[in-house]
Structure 1
Amino acid sequence: MQTGHVTTPFGRRAMSLALVRSQMAIENPRPDARIEKWKVFRDVCEARERLGIQDRALAVLDALLTFHPQAELDPSQGLVVFPSNAQLSVRAHGITETTLRRQLAALVDAGLILRRDSPNGKRYVHRNRDGEVEQAYGFDLTPLLARATELALMAQDVAAERARFRRAREALTICRRDVRKLISAAVEEGAAGNWDHVEAEYVSILARLPRHPNRSQVETTLDEMELLREEVLNILEIQLKTEEVHGNAIQNDRHIQNSNTESINELEPSSGKEQGESLVDKPLTRDEAKEIQKTGREPIKAFPLGMVLRACPQITDYGPGGRIEHWRELMKAAIVVRSMLGVSPSAYEEACNAMGPENAAAAMACILERSNFITSAGGYLRDLARRSERGEFSLGPMLMALLKANTSGHLKSA
């Protein structure tokens, strides 16, 4: 097997068996072999990390290639360039001589160039009478030509790996967004399900992802997030099918009851004795039925009490005995907070009329939670009431933002 010439460095630069091995591994290129020098340079740039070289080394290699007069690397034209360190520094954007020496050594260790040192270590050339180069001492670019195919394949593999990594990150971003919004919609609209567990699993999956992950870690997280998305969709599918069955039954029941033109169902609200019980499924009262007939829109329904207390834990301190177990206790605590924050009775009454007493109390809990960022609690509550009357406001996003902030705070403190 023909191999490239093994050369030893001049002076105090040490020779190593690794350097011998790398030089012997470089086969002499065929006499007719040629490669466009800037194409192979682009391949080296693409495969920079795998070759173990830095950006400064690429700048030095770029400068070395500019001293090769031809556009192609052609062994018949000679592949040794012999610029001085001063000339190299200028073309390498003015890097210092110390940095230049270090990056030249890195290019040699990476097997991209060879040293052809003269007896005295200087870089120069011997020419014949016709001006043709007979012997040159400097840096040999032969490895770039000999490894051109290898470098091209390496660059293609790096580009493909980068594309796979980018697609994996994009897929994870979309899947993460899907899960986040599905959970928010389910909690906001009171869908049945253990959403606390789903939320905890969502946070846990993201917590296991490193700050600067590789492709394998991203794909593992993507697999876990896709499974969670399937679980959420299955829960919602069961919920929607159940609601559809119940809706058909209720529609049939109402059709029978509407045959009596003089009867109006007077449905009383449920007691809501258990902590966190949702009022979403509470039957309509006569006043609510009249409100729907008058305004054409259904009154805003309350969120689960447990969710409100998790999103706004500070309101618990103002409940009877420092605890809140029922909606009535939350509304009593909201009255105390209203007075403490300087919200006028009229502003709170407007909110109760616009949102309903439960949601008005929950809004006060949210305002208390963000009181450090709100200049006028009364003005803020009035604005929420006006937006609620126009159908432009929902407590859901506010509660979910506070719930997420509190969950993140607990994770950081842990």
Structure 2
Amino acid sequence: MTEYIATTPFGRRTMTLGQIASQVKARTAPKDAVVHKWQTFQHIREARDLVGATDRALAILSALLSFHQETALTGDSDIVVWPSNEQLMARANGMPPTSLRRHLAVLVECGLIIRRDSPNGKRYARKGRGGQIEQAFGFDLSPIVARAAEFKDLAEAVQAEKRAFRVAKERLTLLRRDIVKMIDTGIEESVPGNWGRVQQSYQAVMNRLPRSAPRQIVESVCEELEALWRDIRDVLESFADSQNMDANESHSGRHIQNSNPDSLSESENGFRDKKEADGNVEENDKLRSLPKRDLPLGIVLDACSNLRELAQGGQIRHWRDFLAAAELARPMLGISPSAWREAREVLGEQQAGITLAAMYQRADQINSAGGYLRSLTERARAGKFSTWPMVMALLRAKLDASKPPAARPETADEPSGPRQQGGTGGGLASPELRKLLEKRPKDPGRGWE
């Protein structure tokens, strides 16, 4: 009489075509197949996303494998274990019964185990007179033997994908570092070119990179960055060749070249703009009369509304967002890294950012932003500069521009007619501030010009 082996689940659990396919796959295992159960389990764990198993389901599978006494799993014998739910929960670190049943079902659906249910649904083994096991009801582990090679290939594919992703992220990091530093070099060395536009192109590419990007998107961004990197490199190399630089001396490290070309050009141009730095900050007594507290972010954004166009999503909610947008505005104004670094050291991060935002608001009225910033930095070092007059002057200009032509005050220095606004968008912070700004000083031109 041929021994009958149950293939359908007990109770109300239904049979699926996937379970039938798993049983067919298990019967195809070679009789001489021998696999190491823990090595195969490691392959399954690495490829769990491709297999469809969860972490807790793999914890149950590890517990089931531990009930098989032999380390090697062979294809010439039945590999059935019959632990009770209590024993499984104990080896699965106290998993609740409902979770245990749910994750056992996951293992069955993934084709990692096969149910061999008894007539009454209990798990046990029937032994013969000699003590050998004649038939067992429980969980059949033979699919692990039959699919061992498949699990190994899947694990290798996952490892290859991880390596490719790691290489792509390293490439992205190197490209970002090279591009940022080459742009700074172009500005620092006064290399001809629209470096503000280059900075915008770089930022546009980076804005398309989500926070958690898959490998395909990272590689696509790397391709765009590499094209930009080649363009910048060609410009810098062409400029270096035109300057007849001695490559041997530059590589030996003995030749020291002044990499601050804007120290003269910015100072000369800044001398023309020095008049712009004079104003209320020229007199120490007026500086002492200014408020001692820091400028609120809302007032600064009302005055320097153009900076919002550089912020992520066009919104600035915190000072860190404001400073990040100021960092983007710096190369667009043509300010060298050395001038910006000196301004931050003297003024501080926040005050330097406010100064740069005010300059960006009136970028069309400043001949040399780098020289102007150096001039303001020197005045701040001497205690003769504050950001309050700059911001108040911008707000006052917006207030005057919002009035009807008949209501605008006329002075000898300011003829009647339409005025040029420093920026677009953004209202005044409060009615109290509006009243304060309406109290114009005797010399309306001071504070910015």
Greater shift in the superposed pair: 20-29 or 83-92: 20-29
Matching residue of 2:101: 101
Give the AA of the match of 2:29: P
Among residues 371, 376, 380, which one is paired with 2:351 in the alignment? 371
The CA deviation at 1:190 is: 2.9
- TM-score, normalized by length of structure 1? 0.63
The CA deviation at 1:23 is: 2.9
Measured in 1, the distance between the counterparts of 2:69 and 2:200 equals 64
Aligned ranges 1:79-228 → 2 under 5 Å: 79-228=79-228
When residues 368 and 165 of structure 1 are mapped into structure 2, their CA distance, relative to the original with a 3 A threshold, is closer
**Identical counterparts, % of pairs:** 39
Measured in 1, the distance between the counterparts of 2:48 and 2:81 equals 22
CA displacement 1:324-354 (0-9 Å, x = unmatched): x9622442269359877659xxxxxxxxxxx
Matching residue of 2:431: none
Give the AA of the match of 2:262: V
Flag structure 2 segments of 5+ consecutive residues without an equivalent. Answer: 246-259, 290-337, 355-376, 383-425, 427-449
SS in 1 for 2:243: helix
The reply to whether residue 17 of structure 1 matches residue 17 of structure 2 is yes
Among residues 263, 270, 278, which one is paired with 1:332 in the alignment? 278
SS in 1 for 2:98: helix
When residues 66 and 337 of structure 1 are mapped into structure 2, their CA distance, relative to the original with a 3 A threshold, is farther
Aligned ranges 1:234-253 → 2 under 5 Å: 234-244=234-244
Greater shift in the superposed pair: 332-341 or 154-163: 332-341
Q: Kindly indicate whether the alpha-carbon contact (under 8 Å) linking 1:182 and 1:232 is maintained by their aligned counterparts in 2.
A: yes
Q: Kindly indicate whether the alpha-carbon contact (under 8 Å) linking 1:334 and 1:365 is maintained by their aligned counterparts in 2.
A: no
When residues 149 and 279 of structure 1 are mapped into structure 2, their CA distance, relative to the original with a 3 A threshold, is closer
When residues 342 and 83 of structure 1 are mapped into structure 2, their CA distance, relative to the original with a 3 A threshold, is farther
Give the AA of the match of 2:347: I
Q: Kindly indicate whether the alpha-carbon contact (under 8 Å) linking 1:57 and 1:103 is maintained by their aligned counterparts in 2.
A: yes
Greater shift in the superposed pair: 185-194 or 118-127: 185-194
The reply to whether residue 29 of structure 1 matches residue 42 of structure 2 is no
The CA deviation at 1:126 is: 0.4
Give the AA of the match of 1:195: W
Measured in 2, the distance between the counterparts of 1:52 and 1:340 equals 72
Q: Kindly indicate whether the alpha-carbon contact (under 8 Å) linking 2:346 and 2:381 is maintained by their aligned counterparts in 1.
A: no
Q: Kindly indicate whether the alpha-carbon contact (under 8 Å) linking 1:116 and 1:138 is maintained by their aligned counterparts in 2.
A: yes
Measured in 1, the distance between the counterparts of 2:124 and 2:268 equals 83
Measured in 2, the distance between the counterparts of 1:364 and 1:42 equals 53
CA displacement 1:104-142 (0-9 Å, x = unmatched): 111111111111111111111101111111111111000
Measured in 1, the distance between the counterparts of 2:17 and 2:93 equals 33
Give the AA of the match of 2:242: T
Greater shift in the superposed pair: 231-240 or 43-52: 231-240
Matching residue of 2:262: 280
Q: Kindly indicate whether the alpha-carbon contact (under 8 Å) linking 2:169 and 2:218 is maintained by their aligned counterparts in 1.
A: yes
The higher-RCO structure (CA 8 Å, 6+ apart) is 2
CA displacement 1:362-393 (0-9 Å, x = unmatched): 8389838713999xxxxxx79x969xxxxxxx
Measured in 2, the distance between the counterparts of 1:303 and 1:110 equals 75
Measured in 2, the distance between the counterparts of 1:207 and 1:6 equals 58
When residues 233 and 373 of structure 1 are mapped into structure 2, their CA distance, relative to the original with a 3 A threshold, is closer
- TM-score, normalized by length of structure 2? 0.58
Measured in 2, the distance between the counterparts of 1:364 and 1:153 equals 55
Measured in 1, the distance between the counterparts of 2:141 and 2:279 equals 80
Give the AA of the match of 1:123: R
The CA deviation at 1:238 is: 2.2
The CA deviation at 1:59 is: 0.8
Q: Kindly indicate whether the alpha-carbon contact (under 8 Å) linking 2:30 and 2:76 is maintained by their aligned counterparts in 1.
A: no
Give the AA of the match of 2:191: A
CA displacement 1:134-188 (0-9 Å, x = unmatched): 1111110000000011111111111111111111111111111111111122223
When residues 364 and 20 of structure 1 are mapped into structure 2, their CA distance, relative to the original with a 3 A threshold, is closer
Matching residue of 1:57: 57
Q: Kindly indicate whether the alpha-carbon contact (under 8 Å) linking 1:34 and 1:75 is maintained by their aligned counterparts in 2.
A: yes
Q: Kindly indicate whether the alpha-carbon contact (under 8 Å) linking 2:343 and 2:352 is maintained by their aligned counterparts in 1.
A: no
SS in 2 for 1:138: strand
Aligned ranges 1:263-302 → 2 under 5 Å: 280=262, 282=264
CA displacement 1:188-244 (0-9 Å, x = unmatched): 333221111111111111111122111111111111111111111111122222333
Q: Kindly indicate whether the alpha-carbon contact (under 8 Å) linking 2:25 and 2:143 is maintained by their aligned counterparts in 1.
A: no
Measured in 1, the distance between the counterparts of 2:225 and 2:280 equals 38
When residues 334 and 95 of structure 1 are mapped into structure 2, their CA distance, relative to the original with a 3 A threshold, is farther
SS in 2 for 1:165: helix
Give the AA of the match of 2:60: V
Greater shift in the superposed pair: 365-374 or 154-163: 365-374
The CA deviation at 1:25 is: 3.7
Matching residue of 1:347: none
Measured in 1, the distance between the counterparts of 2:344 and 2:170 equals 39
Q: Kindly indicate whether the alpha-carbon contact (under 8 Å) linking 2:6 and 2:117 is maintained by their aligned counterparts in 1.
A: no
Measured in 2, the distance between the counterparts of 1:117 and 1:60 equals 18
**CA RMSD across the alignment:** 3.6
Matching residue of 1:310: none
Q: Kindly indicate whether the alpha-carbon contact (under 8 Å) linking 2:64 and 2:88 is maintained by their aligned counterparts in 1.
A: yes
The CA deviation at 1:281 is: 8.4
SS in 1 for 2:139: strand
Q: Kindly indicate whether the alpha-carbon contact (under 8 Å) linking 2:126 and 2:134 is maintained by their aligned counterparts in 1.
A: yes
Aligned ranges 1:341-380 → 2 under 5 Å: 363=343, 367=347, 370-371=350-351
Measured in 1, the distance between the counterparts of 2:28 and 2:149 equals 14
